[in-house]
Structures are given as C-alpha cells and as structure tokens.
Structure 1
Amino acid sequence: MHVYVLNRQRVWRGVVLTGLGLMLLAWGYWFDHTLRRTVPASAMQPVYQGSAEQKEVALTVNVFWGEEYLPRMLAILKEENAPATFFIGGQWAEQFPRMVQEIAGQGNEIGNHGYSHPHPDQLSVAGNLNDIRRAEEILAKINGSRPQLYAPPYGEHGPAVLEASRDAGCRTILWSVDTIDWQKPSPEVISQRVLGKVHNGAIILMHPTAPTVEALPGLIKELKKQGYHLVTISTMLKHMEGEKQDR
C-alpha cells in the first residue's frame, strides 16, 4: 500500500509538471505572436531602391555614433525642407533620447538599426530577433511608436537576418547609392559618389560625419536641381505599393 501511494504521487507530480510545461509553451507561442506584426512573405526580401518611375530619392542616415554632427545635419535638412530616414541604434538611443526625439520631431522618419550593432550574419534568427526587438522597445518608449523599417548593421542580410526582420514586423532596408562616408573622404568625393550614381528611386546611405555635413547642402540643392524629390523610405514604399495596385 505504501508503494502504491508513492507511485500515485509520482504520477500526479508528473502530470502537473507536464501540464505546466504545456502551459508555458502555449504562453510563449501566444506572447511571440502578439508581438509579431503581420508582414507578407514577399516583404521578406530586402529593399534596395524605390520605383524607377518616380523622380524621387531617399536619404538614409545610420546612427550609432557621430552625435556631434547631428545638430548641423538636422538644421540643413530643415533649411532645405528635405526629410530623411534615420536608422537609430538602440544603445545610442539610450544615451541620447532627446536627440532621437529632435530627429523625429523635425519630421524625419525613425527606423531600427538594431540594439548593439553586431554582425547580424553571425547570429541566429532568435539572436537577430532579440537585437531588433531590444532596439524597438527603446525607440518605442522614446517616440511612442515602433519602427517598422530595419537597416541591418554592415548591410548584412543573410536568411537569418531577413527572417528575424520579417518576424519583428519590419521591412529590411538596404541602399543603391553608398557614400562610404564612414571612411571620411572629402565632401567633394561624397557628392561625386552620389551624383554619379543617383537614379529614380535611389536610396542613399549616409552617416553623421564632418564631410557628410559639409557636402549635404550642395548635394541636396543639386538633387533638387535635377528634378528629384526627397522623400522618406515609407513614402517611397507607399508609391511602390500604389503602382502595384494600379497594374
């Protein structure tokens, strides 16, 4: 009788533990999917450029350093009435929340540049998703909205990166014109790199550097002179979707 009671206790203990395990799995599944925004499978592919039919370009600025150059950059964008899309790193945003608010408050778009600036192609899907969501939470607390655009550090966009971005409800944004301004070339070289390759729907990659700021006023004026409209990435994507619906 004593052995029977002990065995029955073990059975019930196993049933309870199994039930708790199933409940935790179900909760984890629910929690993950409540955070996941729906993005079509086609949106998993990275975006390099906008529509070839639209005379528009998008300036993008990846920010994980260079805060000393941002006030002047923002002033130039405001003076030229030229909105840009700023992809902000989470760790940087934690240090400079007011600057993030200033960027957004001026009418620029805020995107996600991950939290810690890792090499995304060296991470798993879960690792990338965690890095994206950590930055997302910080930016949401600062601005009150979650970015739906993600620019992966170093432009790395292997399968695990794209899947994580999709699962986070983001579009992965790359570029078609690279200033390579992180190497600190002269302002003239930056301008030549852009104007020599600019095209309809170009996404132009920049960073907050001294030569970039120096080149920016003349670069924007020349783009406008050539008939280009400067828009945010979201505006560019809306125009692309509108064209698809019209076909």
Structure 2
Amino acid sequence: MSMQVIIKLIATMLLVVIFISVQNNEAILPTAKTSSLYEEIEAKQKQYYIAPQDARIDKVWKKTPGLNGRKINVEKSYQNMKKSNKFNEKDLVFDKIPPKVSLQDLPSSPIYRGNEHKQKVTFLINVSWGEEFVPQILEILDKHHIKANFFIDGAFVQNNKQHVQMIEEAQHVIGSHGYNHPDFSKMDRNTAKENLEKANSILQAFTEEDIRLFAPPAGSFSSQTVEAADSLDMETILWSVDTIDWKNPTQEVLIQRVLARLHNGATILMHPTESTSSSLDQLIVLIKNEGYQIVDFPQLINENR
C-alpha cells in the first residue's frame, strides 16, 4: 500500500471521528474555554463550602449529634457542565465531609434533641396504655407517610401483641419504655440493666432490628440508668417538646403547645391518648407548613443534612 493511500485512509478516519462527535454534541471545545469553566468551578469552592460539625455534649441538651460538611467535587461538577460550557448551580456535585467526632465517640449521656441546624423533627410516642388509640394514630401517620418512634413498655406487650405487630408492620421505630413503667431514677445500674434486658427480650420478638433506643418512663432517670442503657448499646432518649397529652388538653391547646415550642431537631413527646389521636392529623399539616420535615429518630440524629 502506497504512502498516499495510507494518508488518505487516516484522513478519512479522522473525518469520521469528528463527524460522530459533532452528531453526539461532543465536539471538542477550545482548551482555553473549557479550562476557564473548570477554573470558575474551582473558584467557587469557598462560596459553597460548609464545614462539618462535631457531635458534642451540650451543657443543656447533653449528647448532641453533629452534621456532615460539604465541598464541591470539581471534576464531577465540570463533567456535568462541560456540554453547555456554562456554570450552573444545579449541576454542582458535592462530596460529604464527615465530622471528626460522632455520637458513638461520646461518653454515655441522654439525647434530648437533634442538631439545631437540621430542620427536621420527630415524634416520640410512649406506650404503656391507650391501646384503643393506637390504630387511629397509625392510620394518620400512614396517611401522611410519616415514620414515628414507639417506645413500648414490655408489660404492655403481653396483652396487646396485635398492636405491637401493627406498629412493626407499619415500619415504625420500636424502642424500649422499660418493663412495667418503673421509676428508673431509684434503680442501681444492675437493676436498671436487668429491667431493660427483660423488656428487650419481649420486644425483640416483634422486630428483626436490635432495640437501640430507650425512653425512661416520666423522663425519670439517673446517671446509672444511662450507663445501664449504654452497656446494652442503647441510647437514652428524652424530649424537647411535650404535648402533655396525658392531661387530655383540647385539640387547640395541644397544637398550640407544640407549635409554640417547635424548633430544629425537636423531639415531640406524646402518648396514645384521645387528645393526640384527635389532634395529630392537623398537627402534622401545621408542622409541615412551618417548613419542618417529620422523620424517625435515627434520621433525626444521623449526620446527613
């Protein structure tokens, strides 16, 4: 084959490659232009950077979860924008920056709320009685596609297995409320641990997940209570907003009580009562209207923004 023929073949092949690239809108842009876009994305790193927040022991709110930070992934963002060769905020890709200190790194301490910069809240529903209101509460939660947290007394389970099964089947979080509604503040560490183990052994029959959350009845606990729970890899959970629904307030009073105290990371305490079951539907709508997302407790305390 002559040199001229070879040169013609190479030229033809190059023309085919260029034609295909143009057809696919992938024509190679001038180097200076693409480099300029890449540099523009790099230059905006500081503008979009958010530093991570470490988990901490707050003086008032005790164990407080941290939050991931974020930074621009320049290369992936550039790949999203190079076709148009224009900066577009919607095409930015971010990398998470995990905090150096997470909840599991902290010493045992109760958790009262989520991170104050996270616009999410959660429902803590303590169940030792009120089984007649459980189905209606579950129905309302399902209507709004909300997952809540049910802290169930081990003794309650014995006569209300069907209600616990309903809670599990609806995929709500199941936590412990101890066994037989005791006053944990009067227990030593070993007694508290035995009580939690007894409740867990009953609750574990209804869920494949380990019981990791514990809400002490009436919010009564001591440092030994928290240490006992921690020894079982359980977090002790309190609340930051109380419906006081056990006093049977009117619907208006209950709703205003919650809305007046609502905040980022709020943990809203309630029970299966007539007041809660009649107020819950409207309460959910109003909380969402305030801009909050209602999530389960694990989502509230995770490090995702």
User: If the TM-score is normalised by the length of the shorter chain, which range does it land in?
Assistant: 0.7 to 0.9
Equivalent position of 1:143 in the other structure: 207
Matched, 1:87 2:151: yes
Alpha-carbon distance, 1:187 to partner: 1.3
What amino acid sits opposite 1:189 in the alignment? V
Structure 2: distance between partners of 1:41 and 1:115: 29
* Corresponding residue to 2:198 among 125, 134, 137: 134
* Corresponding residue to 2:226 among 162, 166, 189: 162
Structure 2: distance between partners of 1:225 and 1:198: 12
What amino acid sits opposite 1:176 in the alignment? S
Structure 2: distance between partners of 1:113 and 1:43: 22
Name the SS of the counterpart of 1:205 in structure 2.
strand
* CA offsets 1:110-139 (integer angstroms, 9 cap, x no match): 111101111001111011101111110101
Structure 1: distance between partners of 2:180 and 2:219: 14
Structure 1: distance between partners of 2:281 and 2:154: 28
Structure 2: distance between partners of 1:184 and 1:200: 26
Matched, 1:231 2:295: yes
* Corresponding residue to 1:194 among 249, 255, 258: 258
What amino acid sits opposite 2:155 in the alignment? Q
Structure 2: distance between partners of 1:238 and 1:190: 28
Matched, 1:124 2:188: yes
Structure 2: distance between partners of 1:109 and 1:43: 24
**% same residue:** 37
Name the SS of the counterpart of 1:132 in structure 2.
helix
Structure 2: distance between partners of 1:144 and 1:93: 16
Cα gap change, 1:213/1:109 in structure 2, threshold over 3 Å: closer, same or farther? Answer: same
Alpha-carbon distance, 1:93 to partner: 1.3
Equivalent position of 1:50 in the other structure: 114
Alpha-carbon distance, 1:171 to partner: 0.5
Structure 2: distance between partners of 1:144 and 1:107: 11
Structure 1: distance between partners of 2:199 and 2:183: 15
Alpha-carbon distance, 1:54 to partner: 1.1
* Regions of 4+ moved over 6 Å: none
Tell me, yes or no, if the aligned pair for 1:139 and 1:145 is still in contact at 8 Å.
no
Structure 2: distance between partners of 1:233 and 1:98: 23
* CA offsets 1:81-127 (integer angstroms, 9 cap, x no match): 11110000001012212211211211211111101111001111011
* Corresponding residue to 2:280 among 216, 226, 235: 216
Alpha-carbon distance, 1:41 to partner: 6.4
Structure 1: distance between partners of 2:170 and 2:297: 16
More helix by share: 1
Alpha-carbon distance, 1:65 to partner: 0.1
What amino acid sits opposite 2:158 in the alignment? E
Structure 1: distance between partners of 2:197 and 2:292: 34
Tell me, yes or no, if the aligned pair for 2:168 and 2:206 is still in contact at 8 Å.
no
Name the SS of the counterpart of 1:196 in structure 2.
helix
Equivalent position of 1:203 in the other structure: 267
Structure 2: distance between partners of 1:157 and 1:143: 26
Structure 2: distance between partners of 1:45 and 1:84: 22
Alpha-carbon distance, 1:142 to partner: 2.1
What amino acid sits opposite 2:218 in the alignment? Y
Name the SS of the counterpart of 2:261 in structure 1.
coil
Tell me, yes or no, if the aligned pair for 1:139 and 1:146 is still in contact at 8 Å.
no
TM-score by length of structure 2 reads 0.64
Equivalent position of 2:76 in the other structure: none
The number of residue pairs the alignment matches comes to: 203
Structure 1: distance between partners of 2:216 and 2:173: 16
Structure 2: distance between partners of 1:124 and 1:82: 37
